[in-house]
Amino acid sequence: MLIHQYDAETGQYISSHLADVDPKNPNRWLVPAFSTLDPLPERTPRTWPFYRNNAWTLLPDHRGQVLYRQDTGEPAEILAAGTTPEAQGLTEIPRPSPEHVWRDGGWVIDPALVAQRAREAAMVEFESRMARARQMNAGKADAYAAGLLSMEEVYYFRAWSAYQLDLVRAIQSDGFPETVHWPDDPVPFEVACEPALAEFEARMAKAKSFIDGKADAYAAGELSDEEQYNYRAWSAYADRLTHTLNRETFPNVVWPDEPLPYVAPPALETDPPASAAASRDAT
């Protein structure tokens, strides 16, 4: 005769063994405490016998099964029979991705978490780009303010400063971080400024054709009226050209107008000769 032992507190089946004969009564079997002669029920998968209310019942048994925490998705397991994964905050379904959360009995994408991850990734990109831009201008602010940088250095200082401003505008724009448009790196100096510099050289060459080699003659008053006009007008034009290259907007240049051509003043009327006046009076 088999007897079946169960846990004193939970009723969980522990083991089975042959019963001993009662030495005082050979016709009776000895049944220890927390044991029963009631036969075990037929088990189904994921169940375990429990003896409760003087009868065997089958309760869930998920021991040894790989399960996952519903709050974090991390692997977990149940160490005791008699409970379900759901009761322990577990599930048999692995978490598809870190963007999934457990809701209403299943894993679903969490829009808030997706947005958070997108923002974190975008801010990492922002910080990386900003650090690079700041490095490009490192130690040049005072030199720029003092006018000590070359034209090329000034161009890149302004370009990388504008790039930093565009970065800030990118993360402050509508739709960030779902849609973000990072600014392009500054265009190389040669590409951005070559057309403007070529135009400057052409205009300056024309101005010099009117003023080169004439400074001393102009100072000595040895130039004709037209030459004096051209010297003054084209000298002022050359100064405006140079100032244009130093403007904050370079290489986006608004060129000054060229001087108007020289126009000789009208000849002054003179008094007629005395003989002619006397002849008119006689008439």
Q: Which residue has the higher pLDDT, 183 or 274?
A: 183
Tell me: the pLDDT tens digits for 115-139?
Answer: 899 999 999 999 999 999 999 999 9
Q: Which long-range contacts (CB under 8 A, 24 or more apart) does 215-222 make?
A: none
If phi > 0 it is left, if psi is from -120 to 50 it is alpha, else beta; for residue 121 that is alpha
pLDDT at residue 200 in the model: 94
pLDDT band at 59 (very low <50, low <70, confident <90, very high): very high
SS3 category, 52? strand
Determine the average pLDDT of the residues in 76-85: 96
pLDDT band at 266 (very low <50, low <70, confident <90, very high): confident
Q: How far apart are CA 56 and CA 43, in angstroms?
A: 11
pLDDT band at 270 (very low <50, low <70, confident <90, very high): low
pLDDT at residue 273 above 80?
no
- Give the global pTM: 0.56
Determine the average pLDDT of the residues in 189-199: 93
Non-local CB neighbours of 67 within 8 Å, separated by 6+ positions: 75, 76, 77, 78, 85, 90, 91, 92
CA angle 189, 255, 163 (to 5 degrees): 35
Q: Which residue has the higher pLDDT, 91 or 273?
A: 91
pLDDT at residue 32 above 70?
yes
pLDDT at residue 26 in the model: 83
pLDDT at residue 123 in the model: 97
Tell me: the pLDDT tens digits for 200-215?
Answer: 999 999 999 999 999 9
DSSP code for 271: P
Phi, psi of 163 (to 5 degrees): -60, -40
Determine the average pLDDT of the residues in 70-95: 96
Nearest to 280 by CA among 19, 272, 264: 272
